[in-house]
Structure 1
Amino acid sequence: MNDTEKITAIRDRARKNFSRGFNCAECVLEAVLEHVDTGLPRETLRLATGFGGGVGLFGDTCGAVSGAVLAVGAVHGRSELPENEDRKAAMEEAARQLYGRPGLYRMFNQIPNRLKEKYGHTLCRDITAQWQDQWLCRDHALHCREIITDAAELAATLILGDRDTISSAPFGANVEKLRDSGIKCTGKG
């Protein structure tokens, strides 16, 4: 199966997972675990359960967004911190891994930014506002299924694409207000 076929398979599986009873975060992570060799055991899916409905139905970050972050992290996330006797050098390397070009935050930052661009929000309570009084209705489920499908496709694209290119993309909106020009000090940029 080539990468395009894998992306389609992940997208389709995540979509079907929703009608099988998985929550939004589980749908995305399970589809990636099924089609990508992450080196992680199947039980990793347990990590996604609490993210459904914006963390246990609290309505914060959409579970599909969280599931995509978990899925991309399963492949590209750090498993250990940089080791160096010199604490300052270790901190600079850690910052470079996250903020640099390429940098992991550039990759992960694309997930909420792209989904917000399409759906207007990343908070579950905002995305689903019109169904708050009828949570289990069909229209709500169909809407969430579309978000899940898009989040899975985005995660698969980030996982299977060229890592250096993807993690060198400009930052989108972010809490540090980082832009590619003017990032200085502490190894960022």
Structure 2
Amino acid sequence: MLKKLILKGYGQEQNYNCAEKILYGANEIYNLGLGKETMKLAAGFGGGMGIESTCGALTASVMVLSKLFVENTAHESEIKELTSEFLNKFEKSMGTIDCSSLKVKYRDEVKGCSDIIFKAADILDEIVEERMK
């Protein structure tokens, strides 16, 4: 779903960062109903919030999980478990959730951070599909 969209080059033409690719793509694929103004909130999370901290593809994925599975507040939902599941799966697969470490291992001049974004989208798809059954 989301991974397939991003694999087709989604967000390249618009020059989206990692967080924007995940949130904007998820808005289309999962029908989140987010407007352009709301989606702009993801912009600052790219590049690990600009300081190579937690990867923007991951923070945007947490936004998506929150939109899909929180009705009112975090404490009234299972968002903590879903976030933990997502981040643990990503870290197990990629070795870290830290943007700077991910860039060292997976980023290159031609593909950029594509492999990182693909993995985040893949795990997000898996969790969403499982929970929406």
Please give the TM-score of this superposition, normalised by the length of structure 1. Answer: 0.60
Q: Percent identity?
A: 24
Match of 2:130 in 1: 161
Aligned equivalent of 2:115: 146
Q: Please give the residue correspondences for 1:24-43 in structure 2 after superposition, counting only pairs within 5 Å.
A: 24-43=18-37
Kindly indicate whether residue 82 of structure 2 is the aligned counterpart of residue 113 of structure 1: no
Equivalent-residue separation in structure 2 for 1:129 and 1:136 (angstroms): 9
For 2:131 and 2:109, the matched residues in 1 are separated by: 39
Shift of 1:115: 1.1
User: Which of 48, 52, 56 is the aligned partner of 1:54?
Assistant: 48
Is the 8 Å Cα contact of residues 61 and 122 (structure 1) preserved in structure 2?
yes
TM-superposed CA distance for 1:108, in Å, is 1.0
SS at match of 1:22: coil
* Equivalent of residue 65 in structure 2, options 50, 64, 72: 72
Q: Match of 2:101, SS?
A: helix
Structure label with greater radius of gyration? 1
Count residues in correspondence.
131
Long gaps (5+) in structure 2: none
Structure-2 residue corresponding to 1:13: 5
Q: Which amino acid aligns with 1:64?
A: A
Report how far residue 27 of structure 1 moved. 0.6
| 8 A contact 1:65–1:112 mirrored in 2 | yes
| Two-structure CA RMSD over aligned residues (Å) | 2.5
Deviations 1:16-53 (A, max 9, x none): 23533110011111111012222332432211110100
The 2-side partners of 1:41 and 1:75 are apart by: 15
| Structure that is richer in helix per residue | 2
Return 5+ residue gaps in structure 1 as ranges: 1-6, 82-93, 166-189
